[in-house]
Amino acid sequence: MVKAGLEDIVAASSSICDVNGTEGRLIYCGYDISDLADNSTFEEVVYLLWYGRLPTKTELETLTKGLQANRRIPEDVVKAMKAYPKDALPMEVLRTAVSMLSMYDKEAEDKGREPNVRKAIRLTAQIPTIVAYWDLIRNGKEVVAPKEDCSLSHNFLYMLSGGKEPDAVAVRSLDIALILHADHELNASTFAARVAAATETDIYSAITAAIGTLKGPLHGGANQEVIKMLLEIGSLANVEPHLEKMFAEHKKVMGFGHRVYKTTDPRAANLRRMSEALGKQMGDTKWFDMSAKIEEIVKADKGLNANVDFYSASVYYMLGIPTDLYTPIFAISRMSGWAAHVLEQYANNRLIRPRADYTGERNLKYVAIDKR
Ligand code: COA
């Protein structure tokens, strides 16, 4: 019997990330996600995922410099983006622009770990620029050159605001969110990336496939649906009636449920604390209070736990990030995990080619079109 959705099927051996769905634990290369969220930085986590261990000071400096020096995107890509329809979805733009980048990378077709790490550095550095530039372009604003003396999170917020220095709390909050979203074993987009990489196609093709897959509302697109729901609900008092209506209409509550976690998603637990802390800091806990109430009701009524997308929505909203950039921000972070998996796949590759359980007809005889 085929289990729909490859549920519980182990499709690869990997030393990058372990998701323990019964204990609600998530580990990157041996380190608990909460430990990393408390003590690490996104850049350090990128190193960890790509090299399987924490870097020395020099190693981290080298990678950070690489990520800083490669933030600019080719002028032709900026020009092309300026010609896109202004109502194009940020995820459509990201998918298309990333695909375009390969044509401007002389190493695009080069094989081997070294060139692929260099390409992964460029992609990780350039994806935030594409996302921020699209927001500026669609709003008729001038793009600003990326800063090269700061973290990826700092520079992203700087570019997104059109060149204003972000405050330290916003930078650290985004950095923690990026750490928490960086990898998640064989989630749909990472699996898509590995399937592509296993054909020995280039890393740009693999990442383009992953971005298209992340876009779906059952995957990375869920965080945008969560904020839509929060805005629709609008007030704490409206949470209960709104959810009752959703339950009566058998609608899914986005940001809840998970294929692997049957208990609290550890990423959600971290983001929940952040959402509460940010609300308190800003003197308005409305979005956190509403989220907490929704969580309580959905847990009690449906037995479902909040996933990573649920509390990231209120966090990004409080940081003032446009709501349709939530999934692209997920991509900014997950780029690191995709690259880690693509590198791992290339290093020990075999074509991924499963079978289907054929349920169609057999032995039919061709009937000429005028006889049908
Ligand atoms: N709201 C309401 N009911 C939900 C639900 C949700 N968010 N998630 C799952 N369920 C219900 C399903 O309707 C199903 O009920 P049934 O057995 O009565 O038909 C049951 O729980 C099992 O769900 P299923 O869709 O089979 O789980 P899955 O493993 O295939 O899907 C998700 C996992 C994540 C796709 C699913 O939980 C979902 O769609 N969640 C909302 C989208 C989301 O937040 N995605 C981000 C994931 S990180």
Question: Which letter, b or e, does each residue of 332-348 get, where b requires 16 or more Cβ atoms within 10 Å of its Cβ?
Answer: bbbbbbbbbbbbbbbee
Q: Is the CB of 259 under 6 A from ligand 1?
A: yes
Position 276 in a domain:
yes
**Tokens encoding 93:** 């733009």
Q: For helices 326-347 and 188-197, give the axis angle rounded to 10 degrees.
A: 40
Residues of the chain with pLDDT under 70: none
Question: With a 6 A CB cut-off, is 302 part of the ligand 1 pocket?
Answer: yes
Q: What is the pLDDT of residue 2?
A: 87
* CATH number for position 268: 1.10.230.10
Q: Is 309 a catalytic residue?
A: yes
How many CB atoms neighbour CB 249 within 10 A? 7
Residue type present at position 231: L
User: So what's the pLDDT on residue 1?
Assistant: 79
| Residue 261 located in a structural domain | yes
Residue 231 lies in a domain: yes
The rounded Å distance from CA 7 to ligand 1 centre is: 13
Residue 167, burial from CB neighbour count under 10 angstroms (0-12, 13-18, 19+):
exposed
Between CA 317 and CA 320, with CA 318 as vertex, the angle to 5 degrees is 65
Nearest to 346 by CA among 188, 199, 211: 199
DSSP state of 256: B
**Predicted local confidence at residue 106, as pLDDT:** 97
User: Residues 154, 181, 242, 258: which is the catalytic one?
Assistant: 258
Whether 188 is in the pocket of ligand 1, judged by its Cβ within 6 Å, is no
Query: 224 C-alpha to center of ligand 1: Å?
Result: 16
> Is 269 inside any structural domain?
yes
Helices (H), the chain: 33-39, 42-51, 57-69, 75-83, 90-101, 113-138, 152-160, 168-181, 188-197, 203-214, 222-233, 239-248, 266-282, 286-302, 308-318, 326-347
- Which residues, listed in sequence order, are joined to residue 28 by a DSSP beta bridge? 17, 31
The residue segments making up the domain with residue 249 are: 222-318
CA distance 141 to 162: 8
Classify each residue of 80-95 as buried b or exposed e, where b means 16 or more C-beta atoms within 10 Å of its C-beta. ebeeeeeeebbbbbbb
**Within-domain flag for 264:** yes
- The region that residue 250 occupies, defined by phi over 0 for left and psi between -120 and 50 for alpha, beta otherwise, is left
Q: For the residues of 303-340, what is the DSSP string, one character each?
A: -PPB-HHHHHHHHHHHTT--GGGHHHHHHHHHHHHHHH
Residue whose C-alpha is closest to residue 257's, from 289, 286, 287, 222: 222
Q: If you measure from the C-alpha of residue 255 to the centroid of ligand 1, how many angstroms do you get, rounded to a whole number?
A: 9
Contacts of 181 (CB under 8 A, 6+ apart): 267, 308, 312, 329, 330, 333, 334
CA atoms of 81 and 190, how far apart (whole Å): 26
Task: State the first-to-last Cα distance of the chain, in angstroms, to the nearest integer.
Answer: 35
State residue 206's pLDDT score.
Answer: 98
Nearest to 189 by CA among 338, 17, 324, 45: 338
Place of tokens 């007809």: 361
- Tell me how many domains the chain contains: 1
Which ligand 1 atom lies nearest to the CA of residue 310? 44
Encoded amino acid at 86, one letter: K
| C-alpha closest to that of 337 among 211, 171, 200, 173 | 211
Cβ distance 121 to 70 under 8 Å? yes
Q: Is residue 258 among the annotated active site residues?
A: yes
Report d(CA 257, CA 264) in Å as an integer.
Answer: 10
The reply to whether 91 falls in a domain is no
